[in-house]
Amino acid sequence: MTVDYVTLAKTIAALTEGESDQVSLMATVTCEVHHSDDRFDWTGFYRVTEPDLLKIGPYQGGHGCLQIPFSRGVCGAAARTGQVQLVADVDAFPGHIACASSTRSELVLPVYDGAGEVIGVFDIDSNLPDAFSQQDADALSAILSEIFSR
């Protein structure tokens, strides 16, 4: 099964209409995205809870890391730079944090609130190498912007 981003965006918009609580939004987005594509082995949010620190938020899949400093890993890089991290081979990423030994590739997107502040990152791991494309990054970035920039 491969994700249909048009349908996914419409479904998430309908499910989250009128909701402003960030954790509720994160939980709904995570569930819908995780179950939309077989490539998605772990899907979830890491929230900015204090300066330069991410803590695990709503997720689907096996256990995740509880805390990730902005200075470490793919998630930290996305939070620190505010840029999407599209990693075809996690073993080739300097400082990669192996929260799960099965992860082969990763897509991490910064999440911004309506004021343009980074409130967290949305992390998708795959047990397949080179599982993600720029199309995935662009479509998911648009969904996140629509939901969290309200």
- Domain boundaries defined on the chain: 5-148
In tens, the pLDDT along 37-73 reads 999 999 999 999 999 999 999 999 999 999 999 999 9
Q: Transcribe 66-130 into DSSP letters.
A: SEEETTSHHHHHHHHH-S-EEES-GGGSTT---SSTT--EEEEEEEE-TTS-EEEEEEEEESSTT
Cβ burial of 28 (10 Å; 0-12, 13-18, 19+) is middle
pLDDT at 96: 83
Average pLDDT, the chain: 96
Tell me the pLDDT band of 102, cut-offs 50, 70 and 90: confident
Q: Judge whether residue 1 has pLDDT over 80.
A: no
In whole angstroms, give the CA distance from residue 141 to residue 139. Answer: 5
pLDDT at 104: 95
Mean pLDDT of 105-109: 98
150 C-beta neighbours (distance < 10 Å), count: 12
Which superfamily does 5-148 belong to?
Answer: GAF domain (3.30.450.40)
Question: Among the listed ranges 46-50, 73-77, 91-95, which one has the minimum average pLDDT value?
Answer: 91-95
Contact 131, 39 (CB under 8 A): yes
Q: Kind and range of the H or E element at 23?
A: helix 22-34
